[in-house]
Amino acid sequence: MKYNDTSELEISLLLEAVFQKYGYDFRQYSEAHIRRRVINRMAMAGLEDISQMQSKVLKDELFASEFLQDLSITVTEMFRDSGFYRSLRENVLPILKTYPFIKIWHAGCASGEEAYSMAIIMQEEGLYDRTTIYATDFNQQALNKAKEGIFSNSMMKEYTSNYQLSGGKESFSSYYTSNYDNVIMNQSLKKNIVWANHNLVTDSVFAEVHLILCRNVLIYFNRNLQNKVQKLFYNSLINGGILCLGSKEGLRFTDFYEAYTELDKKQRIFKKKY
């Protein structure tokens, strides 16, 4: 059987099996995203068809764990998209400075690079001591890595460039300690980050927050699921709170477009009206 012949119905049944067995709900993820990951895992495992794939997912928990990792979205980097972070400094931080304490929710934080980026910005702006960053993901392996704050030394040149382009005010190397092939982020950055397992698809409001960052995640959801998650974000933000979606996503085709004003059209940064 050719993998590309795998039908939408077969994939739907596989995702239903994953949900019923393990409680992870990918049934409203983008069909194209899921298909790519399913076909890739079938090829890697040498499976001939989707029925073999489903049987292995249900009977082999190690294989199921690997498959769940495939479906998880873990692409990230420090100060990813420097223009976004410049806009954050210029358009969002002046608003956050008006609050006596600041709660930030980084939804879909993956392995934590962008949460640490946020901690660095808040520290440079003199706001970190009154800030709590809630960094959440459903991928426990990614969260464990994020908590450790250990990243490959080979990435530091790119991250340093991103940091400088984003308006960084210090030497980026002052925020970590090199240890052979890895770097360890400073403890001072970790102190106000709360790492937590939270699933945007199945879990409810996480906290009442002033700022939500969720970039390059919703593009993997279908329209109905995007709308559901936007409702979750709307209910989690205080009045006047800020929602950052990044340049690839928006609110125009959701039920919440009229509930926000646009602070940055290009970077898709919105302020909740009411």
Q: Say if 239 falls within a structural domain.
A: yes
> How high is the pLDDT of residue 2?
52
**39-77 burial, b if ≥16 CB within 10 A, otherwise e?**
bebbeeeebeebeebbebbbeeeebbeebbeebbbeebb
Q: Are residues 61 and 121 in the same domain?
A: no
> How high is the pLDDT of residue 4?
57
> How high is the pLDDT of residue 1?
45
Q: Are residues 225 and 203 in the same domain?
A: yes
State the pTM of this model.
0.86
> How high is the pLDDT of residue 77?
93
Q: What is the pLDDT of residues 121-175, one digit of tens each?
A: 999 999 999 999 999 999 888 999 999 999 999 999 999 999 999 999 999 999 9
Whole-number average pLDDT of the chain: 91
Q: Say if 77 falls within a structural domain.
A: no
Of the three residues 52, 71, 90, the one that is the final residue of a domain is 71
> How high is the pLDDT of residue 6?
66
> How high is the pLDDT of residue 74?
72
Q: What's the total number of domains in the chain?
A: 2
Q: Say if 13 falls within a structural domain.
A: yes
State which residues form the domain around 198. 82-272
Q: Are residues 163 and 212 in the same domain?
A: yes
Q: Are residues 87 and 141 in the same domain?
A: yes
The CATH number of the domain holding residue 132 is 3.40.50.150
Closest CA to 31 of 248, 198, 227, 224: 224
Q: Are residues 64 and 96 in the same domain?
A: no
Q: Are residues 102 and 63 in the same domain?
A: no
Residue predicted with more confidence, 234 or 73: 234
Q: What is the pLDDT of residues 224-264, one digit of tens each?
A: 888 999 999 999 999 999 999 988 888 887 889 899 999 99
Q: Say if 208 falls within a structural domain.
A: yes
Q: Are residues 97 and 205 in the same domain?
A: yes
Q: Are residues 33 and 93 in the same domain?
A: no
